[in-house]
Amino acid sequence: MFGLLLASSLYARADGDTLTLPDLMQGAQQWAQDNLDTNFLNALPQTDDQQVQEFFREMQRRFQGDYVVDLAALRQSAQTVLPFLDSSKQTQPYAAWLRVQIDYLDVADEIRISIPPPTTATNAPPVPVPNPSAPKEREIWVRKVADRPWPEAARKYVPELKPMFTAQQVPAELVWVAEAESAFDRRARSPAGAAGMFQLMPDTAKRLGLSLWPRDERFQPEPSATASAQYLKQLHDQFGDWRLALAAYNAGEGTVQKLLNRHQTRSYDDIAGQLPAETQMFVPRVEAIILQREGAKLEQLAAP
């Protein structure tokens, strides 16, 4: 059943070449070796690891792709993979991560339904569904989180972690980045190696002074919150804008800076549609969560 559902969500490459099953298997194995965290691969039962690798390979490709609507095709497979990951203690940290990502797939599907496909000439290749404008995505995410209760863990951690942000001269409201990243689940780990409530990658964590061994401090709430706040402060110092800082938190400073240079702008909205699909939705998601939880608008938060 899992294999059938997975196959239904994977289709031809954007360049028109057919994605055959052998291609998929070989590509999945190579991508997994290059990108998936070793702990993740070791945690998967041998009989199922290849299929799950295929799913995460395709998810990563689309997250880094150009069009948010392309994520919608993964909804069914994600719902199938999630209980599989939840069934084992070893893979539950990856289930915690995937559970949060499903919101992106749901919103992508809403966008797919709400934006009519572009018209194309007869026998012409299909035209991709354009990305919604940045203001439109903000509206969608505000509706998405409007009636959502606090994550259960947030009631414990938000009061404890806000002082970590203010100590770094960062608005305390940005603690809610942890809801967008992990729903405040300290166990969360992505297949690519990001970990903890704030989903810090190993190199970023080490650069911010966190220890990864013998105890990985990314899984410790207070050190990881301090590191996240430090990183957001550095990014705001670089870009002078919280939306751009959040985009860089998700996609990397280099990606954001290159787009700003290319478009000769300092505005997030001017580059939003060119960012990776995940980032295009991460920023308005955080923004909507802060508005819902704190009644605060992102652009009105104080600079560090």
Q: Which of 173, 181, 217, 278 is catalytic?
A: 181
Rounded Cα gap, residues 242 and 205, in angstroms? 20
Rounded Cα gap, residues 180 and 198, in angstroms? 9
Rounded Cα gap, residues 145 and 147, in angstroms? 6
Which residues, other chains included, contact 23 with Cβ-Cβ below 8 Å and sequence gap of 6+? none
Which residues, other chains included, contact 152 with Cβ-Cβ below 8 Å and sequence gap of 6+? none
Rounded Cα gap, residues 110 and 112, in angstroms? 5
The pair of structure tokens assigned to 89 is 């203690």
Rounded Cα gap, residues 296 and 174, in angstroms? 10
Is 152 in the active site? no
CB contact at 8 A, 69 and 111 = yes
Which residues, other chains included, contact 56 with Cβ-Cβ below 8 Å and sequence gap of 6+? 32, 36, 191
Residues designated catalytic: 181
